[in-house]
Structure 1
Amino acid sequence: MALLGRVREKLIAVLNVPNPSRSYDASRHCVCFWGYDNSREITFMVDDAMLRNLQPGLGTDERSVLGAFDEFREKVLEIANKQYVAGPQNRYSIS
């Protein structure tokens, strides 16, 4: 799904996240996941500090951070959909 329709002559972009894959980037302290707008791949990086806001006391190891992401996945996807705007940008940071 890429475009739903027109609202006041603006195209509405729809982000599709069909794959539950995610990875932890220890050097950036974030969880990365990917969504698609038509054939364009969009990268999202979720700062581990943001996940700590959702789950106080979250550990700093990869397993803990990925577990928190999985637990709050729907909330993170909701935030990603609100941030995403169709256009040339293909990387978003959620913090």
Structure 2
Amino acid sequence: MTLAFPNPTRAYDETRGLIRFIGHDGLNQVLFLLPVAVFDREGATSRRMEREYLLAFDRLRDRILTAARQAYQSRRRHTIELDLSAFGSSLQTAV
């Protein structure tokens, strides 16, 4: 099976500073955690609001899901935390 994202739902976890989203590999559910720091420009100290982070996720959804698929292929875990290295430095400048 290949990893699919049939449900576009994503959620912001302010306490942990990340966005959660779920993929499916057949019957297996895979939780992805994306720290919102990947959306902040280097050195930025202002805190964005939940809505801004979710909009940034939506704008970059295709790139994020591609990175999630690649990370899953290499790790095959039930929970995967993505970081900026999964995208290269280009993600920060795209937001």
TM-score, normalised relative to structure 2 = 0.75
Q: Give the Cα–Cα distance (whole angstroms) in 2 for the partners of residues 52 and 27 of structure 1.
A: 17
Q: Which stretches of structure 1, 4 residues or more, deviate above 4 A after TM superposition?
A: 56-59
Q: 1:15 aligns to what?
A: 3
Give 2:14's aligned amino acid.
A
Q: 1:11 aligns to what?
A: none
Q: 1:77 aligns to what?
A: 65
Q: 2:90 aligns to what?
A: none
The gaps in structure 2 that reach 5 residues or longer are 84-95
* Counterpart secondary structure, 1:45: strand
Q: Give the Cα–Cα distance (whole angstroms) in 1 for the partners of residues 4 and 75 of structure 2.
A: 15
Matched, 1:51 2:39: yes
The gaps in structure 1 that reach 5 residues or longer are 3-13
Residue-pair matches, total = 81
Q: Give the Cα–Cα distance (whole angstroms) in 2 for the partners of residues 82 and 58 of structure 1.
A: 31
Do 1:58 and 1:65's aligned partners in 2 also have CA atoms closer than 8 Å?
A: no
Give 1:78's aligned amino acid.
T
TM-score, normalised relative to structure 1 = 0.75
